[in-house]
Amino acid sequence: MLTATSVPIAFDDVGDGEPALLCLPGWCGHRTVFRSLLADAGQRQRSMALDWRGHGGSQHPEGDYGTDQLVEDAIAVIERAGVDQVVPVGLSHAGWVAIELRRQLGAERIPGIALLDWMVLGPPPPFLDALAGLQDPTSWEAVRQGLFDRWTTGIDLPALDDNIAEMASHGFDDWSRAGREIARQFADHGTPVRALERLQPACPVLHLYAQPPDDDFLDAQQSYAESHPWFRVQRLTAYSHFPMLEVHADVAAALNDFVRTLSP
């Protein structure tokens, strides 16, 4: 399905019921990463996934674009689908779009946010260096390959290989834009949890993740949740940066359970 906006946005729409899930891919990612998740989650509630402008089945715009335009894409899908209440499901740095949707559309229309495998407590310095490397025409390919290697080494999963191949179809323009926009969001808003804290009223948030597997990251999030009851975290039994490809049924169940807690 396509929106009828100036930049037509492709999206999938399955199931019935609200609040609906709206799955948001990361930069240089396509909605196909959510295919199995939508099949599972859509059995219990309405579930959607979009391609950002310039990605997958959506139209490529003229000129540059950034995070603000991705927010416009998501709102266009919400309006085209005729959905009153939506829970954004942001993969990695699409979480910034999810936060902005809540800020712009309010608690009535965005009653909660789900985040998938994100640096919710903030990025480590090497990652910020990688974002700068993606913006350098002499180093971006090596940096991108480093990310791909980190996401795939030791994992035998055809769906993951297909997803990486789709991401690899994007060149320097798209990857440098990704590096620029992700770095800009961290610079403007600080850590994701700090940005979430500024939402009023407090927004229920679920973080589902698989990586990193060390207990320190989980312990830090659980400690944060103790003093911020609107935040909850669940570590999944998966091994990649894309748990919806490995344990899509578990992700769907967790999302469905989270949405039920949002019902008045």
Query: Would you state the pLDDT for residue 37?
Result: 98
Query: Would you state the pLDDT for residue 231?
Result: 98
Fold of 11-122+190-261: Rossmann fold (3.40.50)
Query: Would you state the pLDDT for residue 6?
Result: 80
Query: Would you state the pLDDT for residue 2?
Result: 75
Least confident of 1-10, 74-83, 244-253: 1-10
Integer-rounded Cα radius of gyration of the chain: 17
- 189 is a catalytic site residue: no
Give the pLDDT band (50/70/90) at residue 102: very high
Residue 21 has pLDDT above 70, yes or no: yes
Give the pLDDT confidence of 104-154 residue by residue, as tens digits.
999 999 999 999 999 999 998 899 999 999 999 999 999 999 999 999 999
Walk across the sheet containing 86-91 and list its strands.
11-14, 47-50, 20-24, 86-91, 113-116, 205-209, 231-235
Residue type at position 154: G
* Dihedral angle, C-alpha 29, 35, 36, 38, nearest 10 °: 110
The answer to whether 89 and 252 have CB atoms below 8 angstroms apart is no
Can you tell me the mean pLDDT for 1-29?
92
Give the pLDDT band (50/70/90) at residue 264: low
Q: Quote the mean pLDDT of the chain.
A: 96
In angstroms, the CA 44 to CA 223 distance is 31
In angstroms, the CA 209 to CA 193 distance is 15
Give the pLDDT confidence of 202-227 residue by residue, as tens digits.
999 999 999 888 899 999 999 999 99
Considering only CA atoms, which of 196, 176, 61, 182 is closest in space to residue 121? 196
> How is the chain split into domains, by residue range?
11-122+190-261
Catalytic residue among 55, 207, 241, 248: 241
Give the pLDDT confidence of 23-82 residue by residue, as tens digits.
999 999 999 999 999 999 999 999 999 999 999 999 999 999 999 999 999 999 999 999
What is the greatest pairwise CA distance in the chain?
A: 53
Give the pLDDT band (50/70/90) at residue 172: very high
Query: Would you state the pLDDT for residue 5?
Result: 74
Write out the two tokens for 250. 């578990």
Q: Of residues 124 and 14, which shows the higher confidence score? A: 14
State if pTM tops 0.85.
yes
